Amino acid sequence: QKEVEQNSGPLSVPEGAIASLNCTYSDRGSQSFFWYRQYSGKSPELIMFIYSNGDKEDGRFTAQLNKASQYVSLLIRDSQPSDSATYLCAVNLKAGGTSYGKLTFGQGTILTVHP
């Protein structure tokens, strides 16, 4: 089992729809969870982070965390073609000791929003 798993997609949604991106992680003790967006040929950009169970909203983005199920998700409301990118889930896994600088990333989900 991979430490952080995402469906690679591609996930295709029509403009204006809700895009739902999912991520599971292996270490039950993990406390910090991040979503990065990476446009083709660009570097990852932090768009959301969440530490507590429940929902966290920022504009059109909502991060959801369920630590009991070891599951984190990202919802994008009113999806726009400009949201088309790869979305990376990242976790600060607690197992293995020192974690400075080390986030463990999923393989990413490719999202395509079509007009």
Of the ranges 15-23, 53-61, 74-82, 91-99, which one interacts with other proteins (CB under 8 A)? 91-99
Per CB under 8 A, the list member of 5, 99, 110, 112 interacting with other proteins is 99
Question: Is residue 103 close enough to count as binding other proteins by CB under 8 A?
Answer: yes
Q: What is the dihedral of CA 74, 86, 77, 35, to 10 degrees?
A: 30
Within 10 Å of residue 109's Cβ, how many Cβ atoms?
Answer: 22
Does residue number 61 form part of the binding site for other proteins (CB under 8 A)? no
Give the integer Cα–Cα distance in Å for 19 and 55: 16
Of 106, 109, 111, 113, the residue at the interface with other proteins (CB under 8 A) is: 106
Distance between CA atoms of 39 and 105, rounded to whole angstroms? Answer: 16
* Separation between Cα atoms, residue 28 and residue 98, nearest integer Å: 16
Q: By CB under 8 A, what part of segment 10-49 binds other proteins?
A: 32, 34, 42-46, 49
Q: Given the rule CB under 8 A, which residues bind other proteins?
A: 32, 34, 42-46, 49, 88, 90, 92, 98-108
